[in-house]
Structure 1
């Protein structure tokens, strides 16, 4: 009994582990930010940089970048779809030192895959006289993404995508039906 009491007292007197401290900031016009350092809750084990970026014809249209406390399971993910001149990318990166700044995930290197590319308002507009594009980074799938709204409008996107984007698959709601078809070659 004395050993159990001594063990409990020793455990109570041991110093608690140090919590990670991360910058917290957000930038809605670019992919950089600096912020104040905040002590993370014990459920967080990494500082996470989360970004989303939309470009058209290589010009920045919209973006969001934030650094916050996060979990390792969300590290190093990337979602993207590129259809000709329109590109939508998002991703996360992480670091594990107090006050660190996660790197912005990159994916601009061509990877050898080439896919049909277009944005259209009907299946015919994307099936004839199509351009092709060279995929980059983790975009290892050709995608055909169809959005049909309850207002009887349709948008078709064809281009390059990551497997993570393709995993969203098909879904329906009262507002729209979405069909996603991905292949590792032409769609």
Structure 2
């Protein structure tokens, strides 16, 4: 009997040691009620997390909050003027510690950096617009990326704008929004340094400054990346 009781107690202690309880939420409204939980295996997920998502496409602003088990990654933020994305994760390691009920608000303070901005189908279309965007918060790099999008309406894309350092060091972060920067990718620190395309490489040096003309084809907001894809790729 003592042996059986000892085995039961050991099982309980081991289970408690490797189990983590987190709040669970997948909110389409930007608000979460703390009435659903999920049990996480610490050997797989050692922390609870909350993911704040904010996307601006034209004049349409969407905000989400996702909570559950998982690890943290750096701040992913990008702004091309027409399209702006912000994804921020916070993590904690105690039971029910991810008790956020509203998503984070992105820092909107201008930081003095200004970049070429564009979201188009081709490089020529992008260069023809010659629009700029003022960077804010932790968007401390200018970015230039091109490749193809995935989803129901795959097509080529070219985008320029402001970006966070984490995104510049991790180009696959664009996959959160279904962008695959397969043709060109670079970031640079100086203002207006992201005009022309480069081969796919990571860089923090100023970009080339030659010009190109003609042939604009701007993407409409209806063809922009669908926001629910964020939820599919950030599996809780």
TM-score by length of 1: 0.71
| Residue 23 (structure 1) aligns with | 23
Give the superposition deviation at 1:70: 2.3
CA contact (8 A) 1:93 1:104 kept: no
CA contact (8 A) 1:169 1:179 kept: no
Distance 1:112 1:24, change over 3 A: same
The list of structure 1 runs, each at least 4 consecutive aligned residues, that deviate by more than 6 angstroms after superposition, is none
Give the superposition deviation at 1:38: 2.8
Give 1 or 2: higher strand fraction.
Answer: 1
Distance 1:13 1:111, change over 3 A: same
**Which structure's CA Rg is the greater one?**
1
Q: Could you tell me how far apart the structure 2 residues matched to 1:78 and 1:176 are?
A: 18
| Residue 70 (structure 1) aligns with | 70
Q: Could you tell me how far apart the structure 2 residues matched to 1:125 and 1:14 are?
A: 63
Give the superposition deviation at 1:109: 2.4
Alignment gaps of 5+ in structure 2: 1-9, 150-154, 173-179, 195-236
RMSD: 3.2
Distance 1:45 1:176, change over 3 A: closer
Residue of structure 2 aligned with 1:88, choices 62, 76, 85: 85
TM-score by length of 2: 0.58
| Residue 164 (structure 2) aligns with | 162
Give 1 or 2: higher helix fraction.
Answer: 2
